[in-house]
Structure 1
Amino acid sequence: MTDATVSRRPVLVRVIARIPATLVLVALILLAGVIWGGLWSPFEDNELFPSVAYGLPQLTQGLWWTPLTGTFFVNLPWVYILTIASFAGMAYLEFMRGTRVALAYFWIGQLFAIFAAAMLLWLGALLPWPWAQVQSLMIDVGPSGGTMACIAAAAGLLVAPWRVRVWLVIIGFTVVSLLFWGALADVEHALAVLLVLFVDRSLRVQRTTVREQRLVAFFALLVLGAIQIVTTLVPTNGPFGSTDAVSGGFVDVGIDTVVILLVATGLRRGRRWSWVVTVLLSALNVLVGILLLVLLLITRSLNMPDVDLDGDPSATFATATLWLLLLVYVVWVRRAFASRRKSPIGSTAPPTLDEVKEDIHRYGGGTLSWMSTWDGNSYARTSTGVIVYQRRAGVALVLADPLGPEDGRAQSVREFIDQSEHAGLIPCFFSAAESTRAALPPGWRSMVVADDTIVDLPGLKFTGKPWASVRTAINKAGRENIAFKMTRMKDESWGTRAQLRAISEMWVGDKGLPEMGFTLGTLTEAEDPEVRLAIAMSPNGDVDGFLSWLPVYGENGAVRGWTLDLMRRRDGGFGPVMEFLIGSSAQFFSEEGAEVMSLSGAPLAHDYPPGAGIIADLSEKLAESLEPVYGFQSLHKFKMKFNPRYETMYLLFRDEADLTRIGLALTRAFLPDATIKQFAGAGLELVRGDKS
């Protein structure tokens, strides 16, 4: 069978074909549940249960087959849901590494968990350890040791930083389950994970970034908070003792939960105050554990009556031990928690606007570089250039590409990422070019957000069928005496400027939202003396439409091209005014000797190749939804009339967990002044557009 034949199969069929071992094991477990009734009644009440269940008692009785037979049974009907779901790890492992590897991890993990747990409990039962003595008499069924081993092995296949995050969840789950519940299954789960952790060695926390160090502390504090809540609501009985349900006040737990959530959020953002509070909380809990231990030792050494404690004090010692581990960790990575709410970004004092313009004149820039001079932007000086960004919703949102020498771009990118993370911000680059994408650190992601439409100007001629619509618009304008004028705002009369403002205000009023910002300018930006206006004037002196053009600098202060920003037309004016203005501008710039003319990118209007994946599907569906309001697809099709070439623009980000915050930051950057009412109105317009 050829690869082409396989690729034509439905995705579900291809996935199923690559996980046969997982499906067979699931089918055997379900079949056993049907034959012996475990799917609808507790199998642990079945007379067959002692003959197939595994555990230390069965092994000491010589029932050597039980580790195999017990794998295919489940003790309670509702546990089947968790059991079948746990095979997802094995399915992923088999899909990525093959059937043999998946079966090896499953069976070695299952058998090791069973025999190692039996050995551990046998040794523990020899000691005066009530928990070990009780658990050594327990027997169990189920494949959870093998599935936990597969889940742990699957975590090792994930890309950074998800590998460390999933490993932390797995370790947190197994440690908490073992310490505070400590059933035989919990011991087996912990041993299976420990085996894979030792063999696989895919968890390398020493290589984590500042951001990951904060996430580890954030997750650890949440786990400790969850422990406090759970031990309050339900009784526990782990290796270190037991606790009673509702052993503390619910009001106290509620207050503690709020405090922990606030402090954990501060840790995730790298705030110094949250680090200080975490150190104090950890030290306080460790001190409570130490004082309790001293109190018990004193009372017992003096033969005094034991202090009446709520629950087994050993559980308090276990919790204090976890707090001690957190204390050691946050002190170890204390440099990751130095950010303040308005921590500056940059190796030195930020450059002024005049210095930014000077850098653009000296080193040149891309088609969006002049947008760096607009209001609302901040500047970070690196050792090799300048980064232009906006601070929105905890995100350092970079506009386009770094400014400065081309050979220093990678250094600027790396420095800005480090500085942003130390400031507690999420760095990302919006509308970045391929060269910036290539300068990213390993593991960063990219998403196409637009195609920059470039018209090459040298030798430009509007001949042939591809230019028919542009040629027709220019000829029609000539017949109707529509004049083309390339000018600057400051050079126009008060009356012309008033017409420009009226046309622009009418266009904005039709949208129901204020004018967008960030990469979309307004008439305020068009007043810049270096920005040019292309105006279409009717014979009676009315402005039928206008464009604004931003300069694109090459090296040594030479303008090598122009970027389209504003496009506005008067209602009832000359029909093909935009084709006329853009075509006439192209001729004008070409005659001046410019190299390129950028028509800018239409967001969410990228032409994806077949099979581009889920991001392409999502972008296309989102573009269809937004079309009634912003017309991105229509704008993209309009620009195709000018036969451009395309340069991809990217959103560059560290990982998918940041996309929600980045989406919020982009919304506030593009619409910083929009109100909730205006957003709601735009949403209603989207709904109406979907129904039409």
Structure 2
Amino acid sequence: MSSTLGFIAQYLRTVPLSVGFAALLIITSIVTGTIGDFVYSDPAEETWGAGVATASNGQWWTFVTALVIPGDPAQLVAGVLLSLVLLGTAERAMGARRVIASFLVTGVLGLVVGVFFQWIGSLAGEWWAAGTSLDLTLDPLTPIVGSLLTASAFLSALWRRRVRIVTFSILLMFVLYDGDSSNSYRLSAAVLGLVLGRLLARRGEPVAPQRSSHAEVRVLLATIVAVTAVGPVIALINPDGFGPFAAASELFRTFPDAASTTAECAGATSASCVHQLALLSLAGPGPLLLTFIPLVLLLVAAWGLRKGRRFALWLAVLVNIAFALLAWFSLDVMQTLQTEGAGGPSLDVVDYVVWLGSAVVVPIVISAVLVARRAHFGIRAPREALIRFTLVSLVSLVALSVLYLIVGWLTLGSYVPDATLSQLTADVFRRFIPVNFLGTTGHVMVPRDELTRAVFHWVGPLFWAIMVAGILRVFAATDQTVRVGDPQRFRALLKRGGGGTMGWMGTWPGNVYWFSADGEAAVAYRVINDIAITMSDPVCRDDRATQTIREFADFCDANSWTPVFYSVHPQYLRSFDDLGWQYMSVGEETLMHPVTLDMAGKPWQKVRQALNRGIKEGVTTQWLSYDELTLSQANQINAISEAWVSEKELPEMGFTLGALEEIKDSDVKLMLALDPEGMIQAVTSWLPIYRDGVPVGYTIDFMRRADGSMNGTMEFLIASAALAMQKDGIEVLSLSGAPLASKPLAAGEEPPAPTVLTGLLEFLAKTLEPAYGFSTLFRFKAKFNPTYETIYMAYADPLELPAIGAAVGKAYLPTVSAKEAVSLVRTLAAKK
């Protein structure tokens, strides 16, 4: 708690201007009295608010005062928070002087431009301008939005794009579906902010539109689809809104009273009664949820579009077309009701065209744009996932339909008006479609029996809940099939050179492979929750590292994955700098150099003691591959490994930590420690490091010792391996990486400045130490007097760090059971 408060205090000290504006809002709300008004105060608006009326009266000061006085308590709270966050972001990005300039320019001109167009439109009789020309606005959010968009020009390309897309999406949604004057002023200020930002930043950004990447197009179209889903809800919340698309909310209005409607329409067939009964059938939480199913499906489709899913594209197209057809029918019904004198809304020709344009034409246009841009959504779900989704959907639909028919047939006499079995059968499809859309088609009937009403109301929402869950599973399905020949191609590139000391881990099960177009480079990776985690360094020549990383990132972009290079070495950091990526330390690799190895001196005393003891007790070593083991030796290794695993209640880790299956590779070497009777006392596995087809190094992976083996057996085995490699001229021996470890500081060396990320890693290291002993292992490796090399995780997007952390955790513990998870928590709690 104290650290959080300290962080907030430190942040506020960096944005004094924004803090001052937040304080000014509080003061002006107290002075003008708006702090106690939960609706706009007429005197305050008439004196300080901006609008056509005050401008016409010569109250030009209102173009300034409207920017610093909140209209009500809710706007005060929003203004203070957004001042500290959004205006603070602008202040940190471009400095206090530019913020003051952008605040005044975008705020004042935003109001002036907005009021001018309202005045011109009202004179011309334009319906929106005429309906809002009497509005008086107090809105400090207008200059905040303008300043934020101005500051976006000073941000990195990634953040600049995000700020602009999110801000304009929200602004357009409120302008189109709510239509309040303040929304149009904010939009004007935002546009002015873009222009002012270009002038102030002088980046020389090209005015001509640039070709968008897959990610940009996906985010943009997903945002448009999401806006069309959320927009009608905004319009529904404010039924008096003047937004041009506000008519869409008419498809989601409230329902008539149940008792009076069933009594009045018990035998009637007029259009009014049929319509009222149709709306009545929606009364209740279940039908209310069913009413919003099209919007939910659009939000789900928007999520899939962001991920580049072709299935999401066709879902969005289908829902939008259905939306357009159903809206056309619904609006046509309203016109029919009006002509019958049934109390429907009075619509003139222009209003009616606007209704159709908002509820019908817009979905069709969106569908056309999606189809035209379908090349950006090339990620197809695996065939098995589509088959499973189809079967589950059909079975659910049939089962719920049969359930409704059976219950309805048993209580057929409870329906109002009276219903027949054929009418009940025809009514089945209506249970799965919002009745507010199709409320006047067919024989509308409502059951009075409680059980029947429950089934009547809930089979539809239940079916669509199953559908939505199934759609999300289809979006999550990825084809992780390893193509025939890929492992062999990857091994061939590894043997030519590249991949680093941990490159051979890329051959392990669970990895799939990307190859460059010319076949000269490769990356081993695995996709977890749309995070593509690579295994160690890219496998390529050193001079094409940047190109390989960029090409792999483009491949991930095409598949809507977030690329993460895990356990990469320092020589690649320059490539990530060139690409604008960020990176952080995830551990330390311990290295020995057998060619220059000398075990003399006090630092090697413990290792020499283990060597001498092993020789004295007759322990010998054997260097071979798993294929060369005798049956007895293979069984012994299996038994040692099983005993080691069974003694631990904790889940066995994977990813960069190999297990029994990984040592069975014919290219992987084993070093055995044998007692005088030939029984295995300990075993280590060594992953090869190749250059030009010849092993030049080895990395330790698998380490197991038998119960009752000699103390120091593992030190004996590693030292023996190092001496054997020295004789063979091996250049490097890696004791592998120690996760979450920090290398010891040299004399006089200062530790790096702490950051939020380093603090998090230190916390994780201390938390997991009781369970997995990372620090203990690191100290064990220090006995061999190694050199240290930091290994890094490189990533393009810092906002994805939480998802990256979860994916890395899943990679290390992919199959953790509930029992193992409980054991892990118990171990961590017991040893704190």
Instruction: Please report the TM-score for the alignment, with normalisation by the length of structure 1.
Output: 0.87
Shift of 1:175: 0.9
Q: Which moved more, 1:617-626 or 1:461-470?
A: 461-470
Q: Which moved more, 1:225-234 or 1:330-339?
A: 225-234
Shift of 1:437: 4.6
Question: 2:706 is matched with which residue?
Answer: 570
Q: Which amino acid aligns with 2:303?
A: T
Question: 2:435 is matched with which residue?
Answer: none
Shift of 1:66: 2.5
Within the candidate set 17, 22, 25, 1:29 is matched to 25
What CA deviation, in whole Å up to 9, does each residue of 1:168-206 have, x standing for no partner? Answer: 221111111112222221121111111112333579974
| 1:638 pairs with 2:808 | no
1:71-90 equivalences in 2 (<5 Å): 71-87=67-83, 88-90=85-87
Instruction: Report the secondary structure of 1:681's partner residue.
Output: helix
Within the candidate set 210, 214, 232, 2:214 is matched to 210
Instruction: Report the secondary structure of 2:293's partner residue.
Output: helix
Gaps in structure 1 of 5+ consecutive residues: 1-9
Question: 1:172 is matched with which residue?
Answer: 169
CA contact (8 A) 1:19 1:91 kept: yes
Question: 1:106 is matched with which residue?
Answer: 103
Q: Which amino acid aligns with 1:212?
A: E
Within the candidate set 509, 512, 522, 1:375 is matched to 509
What CA deviation, in whole Å up to 9, does each residue of 1:531-553 have, x standing for no partner? Answer: 22223334565533221111111
Within the candidate set 651, 654, 657, 1:520 is matched to 657
Instruction: Report the secondary structure of 1:72's partner residue.
Output: coil
Shift of 1:84: 0.4
Q: Which amino acid aligns with 1:686?
A: L
Instruction: Report the secondary structure of 1:453's partner residue.
Output: strand
Q: Which moved more, 1:322-331 or 1:468-477?
A: 322-331
Within the candidate set 348, 353, 358, 1:318 is matched to 358
CA distance in structure 1 between the partners assigned to 2:319 and 2:659 by the alignment: 51
Within the candidate set 660, 685, 694, 1:558 is matched to 694
Question: 2:376 is matched with which residue?
Answer: 336
Shift of 1:561: 0.8
CA distance in structure 2 between the partners assigned to 1:226 and 1:44 by the alignment: 26
Structure 1 101/516 Cα, relative in aligned 2: closer, same or farther at 3 Å?
same
| 1:628 pairs with 2:632 | no
Instruction: Report the secondary structure of 2:670's partner residue.
Output: strand
1:238-317 equivalences in 2 (<5 Å): 238-240=242-244, 242-243=246-247, 246-247=252-253, 250-283=288-321, 285=323, 308=344, 313=352, 314-317=354-357
CA distance in structure 2 between the partners assigned to 1:204 and 1:310 by the alignment: 46
Within the candidate set 463, 471, 475, 2:608 is matched to 471
CA contact (8 A) 1:489 1:532 kept: yes
Instruction: Report the secondary structure of 2:305's partner residue.
Output: helix
CA contact (8 A) 2:174 2:234 kept: no
Within the candidate set 490, 493, 509, 1:359 is matched to 493
CA contact (8 A) 1:365 1:554 kept: no
Structure 1 527/178 Cα, relative in aligned 2: closer, same or farther at 3 Å?
closer
Paired residues, what number? 677
Instruction: Report the secondary structure of 1:237's partner residue.
Output: coil
Structure 1 234/688 Cα, relative in aligned 2: closer, same or farther at 3 Å?
farther
Question: 1:115 is matched with which residue?
Answer: 112
Instruction: Report the secondary structure of 1:270's partner residue.
Output: coil
CA distance in structure 2 between the partners assigned to 1:667 and 1:48 by the alignment: 56
Root mean square deviation of aligned Cα? 3.6
CA distance in structure 2 between the partners assigned to 1:75 and 1:306 by the alignment: 40
Return the structure number with greater relative CO, CA threshold 8 A, min gap 6: 1
| 1:509 pairs with 2:505 | no
Shift of 1:30: 1.8
CA contact (8 A) 1:453 1:598 kept: yes
CA contact (8 A) 1:132 1:239 kept: no
Shift of 1:281: 3.7
Q: Which moved more, 1:392-401 or 1:167-176?
A: 392-401
Q: Which amino acid aligns with 2:711?
A: G
Q: Which moved more, 1:180-189 or 1:362-371?
A: 362-371
CA contact (8 A) 2:311 2:381 kept: no
Q: Which moved more, 1:101-110 or 1:517-526?
A: 517-526
Within the candidate set 376, 397, 402, 2:538 is matched to 402
Question: 2:587 is matched with which residue?
Answer: 450
| 1:688 pairs with 2:816 | no
CA distance in structure 1 between the partners assigned to 2:510 and 2:10 by the alignment: 50
CA distance in structure 2 between the partners assigned to 1:51 and 1:599 by the alignment: 76
Structure 1 196/322 Cα, relative in aligned 2: closer, same or farther at 3 Å?
farther
CA distance in structure 2 between the partners assigned to 1:28 and 1:316 by the alignment: 45
Shift of 1:147: 0.8
Q: Which moved more, 1:182-191 or 1:151-160?
A: 151-160
What CA deviation, in whole Å up to 9, does each residue of 1:313-342 have, x standing for no partner? Answer: 435523556535534543443211122124
Question: 2:715 is matched with which residue?
Answer: 579
Q: Which amino acid aligns with 2:823?
A: G
CA contact (8 A) 1:473 1:576 kept: yes
Structure 1 268/616 Cα, relative in aligned 2: closer, same or farther at 3 Å?
same
Structure 1 345/637 Cα, relative in aligned 2: closer, same or farther at 3 Å?
same
CA distance in structure 1 between the partners assigned to 2:189 and 2:591 by the alignment: 57
Question: 2:125 is matched with which residue?
Answer: 128
Gaps in structure 2 of 5+ consecutive residues: 1-5, 199-204, 255-281, 283-287, 383-477, 746-750
CA distance in structure 1 between the partners assigned to 2:216 and 2:817 by the alignment: 35
CA distance in structure 1 between the partners assigned to 2:233 and 2:39 by the alignment: 32
CA distance in structure 1 between the partners assigned to 2:216 and 2:614 by the alignment: 60
Structure 1 323/306 Cα, relative in aligned 2: closer, same or farther at 3 Å?
farther
Shift of 1:81: 1.1
Structure 1 458/684 Cα, relative in aligned 2: closer, same or farther at 3 Å?
same
What CA deviation, in whole Å up to 9, does each residue of 1:461-506 have, x standing for no partner? Answer: 1233433332333334344444444343344444433332222112
| 1:231 pairs with 2:235 | yes
| 1:605 pairs with 2:747 | no
CA contact (8 A) 1:86 1:148 kept: no
CA distance in structure 2 between the partners assigned to 1:232 and 1:26 by the alignment: 31
CA distance in structure 2 between the partners assigned to 1:131 and 1:58 by the alignment: 19
Shift of 1:663: 4.0
Within the candidate set 534, 550, 559, 1:414 is matched to 550
Structure 1 234/680 Cα, relative in aligned 2: closer, same or farther at 3 Å?
farther
What CA deviation, in whole Å up to 9, does each residue of 1:583-613 have, x standing for no partner? Answer: 2222221122111001111122245943242
CA distance in structure 2 between the partners assigned to 1:20 and 1:27 by the alignment: 11
Shift of 1:667: 4.0
Q: Which amino acid aligns with 2:812?
A: F
Shift of 1:251: 4.1
Q: Which amino acid aligns with 2:490?
A: V
Instruction: Report the secondary structure of 1:559's partner residue.
Output: strand
Instruction: Please report the TM-score for the alignment, with normalisation by the length of structure 2.
Output: 0.73
CA distance in structure 1 between the partners assigned to 2:230 and 2:514 by the alignment: 40
CA distance in structure 1 between the partners assigned to 2:109 and 2:620 by the alignment: 85
Q: Which moved more, 1:536-545 or 1:170-179?
A: 536-545
CA distance in structure 2 between the partners assigned to 1:665 and 1:338 by the alignment: 24
Structure 1 435/298 Cα, relative in aligned 2: closer, same or farther at 3 Å?
farther
Question: 1:154 is matched with which residue?
Answer: 151
Structure 1 603/187 Cα, relative in aligned 2: closer, same or farther at 3 Å?
same
| 1:195 pairs with 2:332 | no
